[in-house]
């Protein structure tokens, strides 16, 4: 086990073999074990709120860990014995969470439960000694649930805009709740950012304006059915037309201040936000990198007007919490440097040996003023996709997590897949998105000009063209021999370890390469650059989220999302993580799937 700088790996392990889809197990390397830290339904405030899927109420769910955990961080205190876990709870799988309702009133209460199972959770963890597994603390001081009803503030240049006012909030400055919380990032000042992603699925709307159509808002019944229990989710109703404009933002939560309302930052634009990751640049300004996760949508960067203040004082933290409220917003335009026929042709590498080139950060807003002709600043921020269309941004293959490497400042963009590229009238392959029918996705590495997070130009190259090299001739692993890597498909969330190696979790591999999703490490420097190795595999029909790599502490954490999601109440497909008799409920364990955060440690 090498611990080192440069090419040294932080964490030694023997990679696992890929696990066939439909195996309902967590697989970890030899010499490691896993255990759940917290599961859907675990009580946060009072042990009396015991989990019972047949007797859930919205009130109880709002005091329990929510469903479908995605973004995860574990922020450890200096003594190493206390930590705070922050997780997103992205969405719900109605059909496997509850028995079929026996009455209309029961069905409506189940809908209210799903609202309460959305949002975020903040939970304290403890352990007696460093290196031991963590346990969560019922009733911890900072424990908090944020749901689809928690009041939160809108701030930044669009706050108070007519576009954000409703009959419930004539000021356009306060919203109830957050939803579709997918990935995120922890800021250098210790707060957590959460991306509101597929918000359109929660609304019924007129669906007539250019903006509504561009964001996928339509008059059909919503996917979640909440309009039956909360009128604001039917945006066709007078006074609620703007309610969908109040979702699709980056939300900042301070885990140390459980009574402080979360903040939706309008300066970072409105889109199907995957997440946001912040780095302090060498001038002290901060940059937030963000993906809009939809086929042919864009990559964005926000740069703060003000600079970061270091130090642990309350004053510094309060100042840093204003950094995402004012600044400039950009969208990426990529240019390739190889002839396009070499990209769209055989599938071999272009003649310069790389998919690479240069790029521009095209301004949408500069210091709070619109940079897009014909758009006010409020329109740029609320209808950000339309503003980015107008400036000719580069259509990407679904940007998921976008994260700067804290050791090098280089930025890694997970493009998860895009099976529509090159089909029908859709745009075909480009050097930055070089595969038609891109089932397996790719990862782009960006180097800002001059190493400056404020730069308006950058260089880029493709790090990985994912896939199973055994069955796909068109893969690329930064030049590392393809017969010596683990097959990987649909990169989604990313993280870094203490040596600067990249860790990638996946979402969608069962449908593409026939293996369960997993977690992979890939070195970025030295002779092993591009060597993808699989660390773990999640159970049947689950997506691997988080991840959090505490290699100096011997731990890896992942959030296991939507295990067994294609099952039904009577025919569950997963029994993760309790693995007890199907349907049984005893001693806090349930014979059905429960999205959960797990910790992997050395055995
Ligand atoms: Fe919720 Fe883009 O994944
Ligand atoms: Ca090239
Ligand atoms: Ca994701
Ligand atoms: Ca995904």
The tens digit of pLDDT for each residue in 363-395 reads: 999 999 999 999 999 999 999 999 999 999 999
Q: Looking at the predicted structure, is the pLDDT value of residue 185 above 80?
A: yes
What is the ipTM metric for this complex?
0.95
Question: In this predicted structure, what is the pLDDT of residue 8?
Answer: 61
Q: What is the pLDDT of residues 551-561, one digit of tens each?
A: 999 999 999 99
10 pLDDT band (50/70/90 cuts)?
confident
Is 41 part of a structural domain of the chain?
yes
Q: Is the dihedral of CA 111, 511, 576, 533 positive or negative?
A: negative
CB 457 within 8 A of CB 332: no
Question: In this predicted structure, what is the pLDDT of residue 347?
Answer: 72
Q: What is the pLDDT of residues 76-118, one digit of tens each?
A: 999 999 999 999 999 999 999 999 999 999 999 999 999 999 9
Q: Looking at the predicted structure, is the pLDDT value of residue 3 above 70?
A: no
Q: How much distance in Å is there from the Cα of 493 to the middle of ligand 4?
A: 8
Q: Do the bridges between strand 369-370 and strand 356-366 make them parallel or antiparallel, or are there none, so unpaired?
A: antiparallel
Work out which ligand 1 atom sits closest to the CA atom of 198. Answer: 1
User: What average pLDDT does the segment 400-418 reach?
Assistant: 97
Q: What is the DSSP string of 301-317?
A: EEEEEEE---SS-HHHH
Work out which ligand 1 atom sits closest to the CA atom of 183. Answer: 1
Q: How much distance in Å is there from the Cα of 441 to the middle of ligand 1?
A: 14
Is 87 part of a structural domain of the chain?
yes
Work out which ligand 1 atom sits closest to the CA atom of 291. Answer: 2
Is 141 part of a structural domain of the chain?
yes
User: Which letter does DSSP use for residue 393 in this model?
Assistant: P
- Residue with the nearest Cα to atom 3 of ligand 1? 182
| Residues measured by CB to lie within 5 Å of ligand 3, the ion | 182, 400, 492
End-to-end CA distance of the chain: 15
Q: Which runs of consecutive H residues, i.e. helices, occur in 297-424?
A: 314-320, 340-344, 377-382, 384-390
User: What average pLDDT does the segment 415-427 reach?
Assistant: 97
Q: What is the DSSP string of 489-552?
A: --EEEEEE-TT--EEEEES-HHHHTSB--EEEEE--SSTTTT--EEEEE--TT-EEEEEEEEGG
Is 56 part of a structural domain of the chain?
yes
Is 280 part of a structural domain of the chain?
no
Q: Looking at the predicted structure, is the pLDDT value of residue 404 above 50?
A: yes
Q: Looking at the predicted structure, is the pLDDT value of residue 520 above 60?
A: yes
* C-alpha dihedral, 479 to 481 to 484 to 488, nearest 10°: 50
Segment among 340-349, 383-392, 473-482 with least mean pLDDT: 340-349
Is 170 part of a structural domain of the chain?
no
Give residue ranges with CB within 6 A of ligand 1. Answer: 90, 182, 197, 274, 293, 400
Q: Looking at the predicted structure, is the pLDDT value of residue 2 above 60?
A: no
Q: What is the pLDDT of residues 162-172, one digit of tens each?
A: 999 999 999 99
1 pLDDT band (50/70/90 cuts)?
very low
Question: In this predicted structure, what is the pLDDT of residue 5?
Answer: 39
Work out which ligand 1 atom sits closest to the CA atom of 197. Answer: 1
Helical (H) or strand (E) element with 113 = helix 104-116
Q: How much distance in Å is there from the Cα of 293 to the middle of ligand 1?
A: 7
Is 599 part of a structural domain of the chain?
yes
Nearest to 61 by CA among 42, 78, 84: 42
Q: Domain range spanning residue 119?
A: 36-102+112-147+579-603
Percent of the chain with pLDDT over 90: 95
Domain count, the chain: 1
Q: Which runs of consecutive H residues, i.e. helices, occur in 168-238?
A: 210-214
Is 533 part of a structural domain of the chain?
no
Q: What is the pLDDT of residues 199-246, one digit of tens each?
A: 999 999 999 999 999 999 999 999 999 999 999 999 999 999 999 999
Q: How much distance in Å is there from the Cα of 105 to the middle of ligand 1?
A: 32
CB 588 within 8 A of CB 50: yes
């Amino acid at each position: 086990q090498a611990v080192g700088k440069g090419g040294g790996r932080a964490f030694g392990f023997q990679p696992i073999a890929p696990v066939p889809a439909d195996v309902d197990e967590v697989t970890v390397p030899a010499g490691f074990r896993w255990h759940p830290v917290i599961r859907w339904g675990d009580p946060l405030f009072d042990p009396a709120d015991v989990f019972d899927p047949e007797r859930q109420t919205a009130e109880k769910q709002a005091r329990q860990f929510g469903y479908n955990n995605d973004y995860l961080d574990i922020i450890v205190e200096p003594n190493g014995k206390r930590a705070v876990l922050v997780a997103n709870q992205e969405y719900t799988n109605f059909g496997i969470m509850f028995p079929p309702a026996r009455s209309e009133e029961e069905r409506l209460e189940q809908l209210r439960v799903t609202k309460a199972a959305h949002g975020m959770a903040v939970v304290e963890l403890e352990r007696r000694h460093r290196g031991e597994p963590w346990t969560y603390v019922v009733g911890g001081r900072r424990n908090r649930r944020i749901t689809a009803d928690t009041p939160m503030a809108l701030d930044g240049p669009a706050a108070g805009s007519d576009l954000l006012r409703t009959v419930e909030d004539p000021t356009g400055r306060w919203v109830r709740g957050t939803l579709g919380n997918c990935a995120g990032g922890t800021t250098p000042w210790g707060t957590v950012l959460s991306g509101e992603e597929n918000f359109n699925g929660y609304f019924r709307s007129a669906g007539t304006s250019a903006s509504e159509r561009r964001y996928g808002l339509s008059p059909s019944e919503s996917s979640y059915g909440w309009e039956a229990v909360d009128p604001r989710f039917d945006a066709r109703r007078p006074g609620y037309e703007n309610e969908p404009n109040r979702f699709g933002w980056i939300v900042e939560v301070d885990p140390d201040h459980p009574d402080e309302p979360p903040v939706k930052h309008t300066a970072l634009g409105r889109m199907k936000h995957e997440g946001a990751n912040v780095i302090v640049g060498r001038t002290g300004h901060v940059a937030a990198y963000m993906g809009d996760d939809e086929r042919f949508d864009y990559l964005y960067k926000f740069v703060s007007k003000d600079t970061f203040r270091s130090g642990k004082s309350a004053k510094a933290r309060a100042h840093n919490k204003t950094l995402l409220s004012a600044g400039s917003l950009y969208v990426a335009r990529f240019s390739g440097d190889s002839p396009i026929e070499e990209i769209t042709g055989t599938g071999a590498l272009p003649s310069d040996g790389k998919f690479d080139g240069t790029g521009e950060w095209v301004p949408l807003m500069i210091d709070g003023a619109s940079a897009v002709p014909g758009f006010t600043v409020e329109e740029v921020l609320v209808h950000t996709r339309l503003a980015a269309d107008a400036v000719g941004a580069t259509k990407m293959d679904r940007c998921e997590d976008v994260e700067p490497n804290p050791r090098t400042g280089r930025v890694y963009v997970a493009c998860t897949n895009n099976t529509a590229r090159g089909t029908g009238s859709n745009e075909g392959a480009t050097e930055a998105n070089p595969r038609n029918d891109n089932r397996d996705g790719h990862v782009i590495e960006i180097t800002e000009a001059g190493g400056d997070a404020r730069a308006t130009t950058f260089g880029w190259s493709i790090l990985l063209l994912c896939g199973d090299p055994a069955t796909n001739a068109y893969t690329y692993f930064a030049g590392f021999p393809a017969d010596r890597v683990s097959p990987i498909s649909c990169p989604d969330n990313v993280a870094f370890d203490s040596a600067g190696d990249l860790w990638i979790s996946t979402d969608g591999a069962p449908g593409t390469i026939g293996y369960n999703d997993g977690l992979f490490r890939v070195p970025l420097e030295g002779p092993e650059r591009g060597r993808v190795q699989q660390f773990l595999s999640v159970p049947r029909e689950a997506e691997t989220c988080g991840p959090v790599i505490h290699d100096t502490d011997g731990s890896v954490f992942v959030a296991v999302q939507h295990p067994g999601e294609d099952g039904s109440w009577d025919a569950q497909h997963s029994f993760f993580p309790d693995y007890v008799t199907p349907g049984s409920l005893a001693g806090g364990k349930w014979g059905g799937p429960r999205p959960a955060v797990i910790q992997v440690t050395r055995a």
